[in-house]
Amino acid sequence: MEKFDLKIGMFCITFKAWKHGMALNYIWIAFFVIAFVFALVKLIFFGDADAFKTVVDSLFSSSQSSVMDIALPLAGAMTFWLGIMNIGEKAGAIKFISRIVGPFFSKIFPEVPKDHPAIGNLLMSFSANLLGLLNAATPLGLKAMDSLQELNPKKEEASNAQIMFLVLLTSGMQLLPIAIIAQRAILHARDPTDIFIPCIIATYASAVVGMIAVAIKQKINLFDRVIITWIGGITLLISLLVWCMTHYLSKEQISTFSKISSNLLIFAIAVIFIVGGLIKKINVFEAFIDGAKAGFETCVKIIPYLVAMLVGIAVFKSCGALGYMNDGLRWVVSKAGLDTRFVDAMPVAYMKPLSGSGSRGMMITTMQSYGVDSFAGRLGCIFNGSADTTFYIVALYFGSVGIKRSRYAIPFGLIADAAGIIAAIFVGYLFFG
């Protein structure tokens, strides 16, 4: 009886720790422990003398790239876009946007007042991600997270609004997966754009499931007339855009449309904010400088979080655990009498929550190994476009505002990722099976 009580007590402690944001702590520890165990097994049982060298090499290379290839290059984009956003805020553009989307966002972000600048910042961030404006999406997202932090009463613990925002980001909702299409074109796919609609369906499923899961957790009424109207309207708009592009544009025209619309929009946002500041008679240059000062400071602040997470992911990836996971999954699927072709592309799905560059590498490897127009090659592309890098996003966005307790953000982000993976498998078989 005492042993049983002890087990119940340990379970309660573990559950409370997960609930209060220790999930990231345990996952980070697991990366290193698993890597050590796998490297040790390779050394002792398989005589792999380079097992630990491979892991250590990945440790040093990832710690360097975290700073030199990610944090420092991000500083320039952060500095520019935070300057532009400060102009927009002083010119009243953010408040104007907030009034438009305020009724909807106030329902799914009930902690945020309707006319608060955070509403406009959230919309700017979602729009940049939706349109694939990668250089602008991260700075705008960090600005939105910072504005939500202003409303957060517990500065070291993620608020409900911040968790909803992060989970929606992890869904990777994007209308124009241009990077994936470009990579397929480089590898001479017969039709590089044939994964366009499957990617949109999968990532939309990820976003909707993630939002519903968090809404249930936060006791948000999803049957509210405003929520149903907005989600229905967004669904109709996306469906109409996809239908028009696939029926009236060739693959070359889709690529051209994507390139023109993305670059036009990103520059138009900057120009509109600057002109708006001129009309409002504010000192535009001074407003830009005031906002830009925070860019470099933010990038310096996130370096420890990036190094910690990306090094952990790198050593886990280098130990070979993913290969064993895939072999185990293939065995289970075959024993269940199901088709195992989707398993060939699963390494992309494993890597996506962990590393964007890792998942892109896995996607390219899958296309090269099985054929760019093979089922596995196409499914790998859909996996890559169905979600975003949950652990990187948690480290980057929460780290930028000093949040140490992520609460249930990671498990619910992974729920959105899982929904995207499952949807990707279904649409993969539907379109290419």
Residue 113 has pLDDT above 60, yes or no: yes
Highest mean pLDDT (candidates 15-24, 70-79, 229-238): 229-238
Question: Counting runs of H as helices and runs of E as strands, what totals does the chain give?
Answer: 20, 0
Q: Letter for the amino acid at 218?
A: Q
Q: Provide the pLDDT for residue 14.
A: 39
Highest mean pLDDT (candidates 59-68, 167-176, 307-316, 329-338): 329-338
Phi, psi of 115 (to 5 degrees): -100, 15
pLDDT tens, residue by residue, 152-195? 999 999 999 999 999 998 887 776 676 787 788 888 888 887 88
Residue 13 has pLDDT above 60, yes or no: no
How many Å apart are CA 218 and CA 212, to the nearest integer? Answer: 10
User: What average pLDDT does this structure show over 100-120?
Assistant: 84
Per-residue tokens: 414: 């992974």
How do the domains of the chain map onto residue ranges?
2-432
Highest mean pLDDT (candidates 3-12, 16-25, 207-216): 207-216
β-strand partners of 405: 157
Closest CA to 86 of 266, 301, 293: 293
Per-residue tokens: 19: 């609930």
How many Å apart are CA 378 and CA 376, to the nearest integer? Answer: 6
pLDDT tens, residue by residue, 185-205? 888 888 887 887 888 888 988
* 3-state class (DSSP) for residue 157: strand
Residue 322 has pLDDT above 70, yes or no: yes
* 3-state class (DSSP) for residue 143: helix
When pLDDT is cut at 50, 70 and 90, the band that residue 422 belongs to is very high
When pLDDT is cut at 50, 70 and 90, the band that residue 12 belongs to is very low
Residue 19 has pLDDT above 80, yes or no: no
Residue 384 has pLDDT above 80, yes or no: yes
User: What average pLDDT does this structure show over 268-287?
Assistant: 90
Dump the DSSP string for 260-283: HHHHHHHHHHHHHHHHHHHHTT--
User: What average pLDDT does this structure show over 111-127?
Assistant: 83
Q: Which residue would you say has higher pLDDT here, 248 or 347?
A: 347
Q: Which residue would you say has higher pLDDT here, 343 or 198?
A: 343
Q: Provide the pLDDT for residue 210.
A: 93
- Mean of all residue pLDDT scores within the chain: 83
User: What average pLDDT does this structure show over 376-391?
Assistant: 90
When pLDDT is cut at 50, 70 and 90, the band that residue 262 belongs to is low
DSSP 19: I
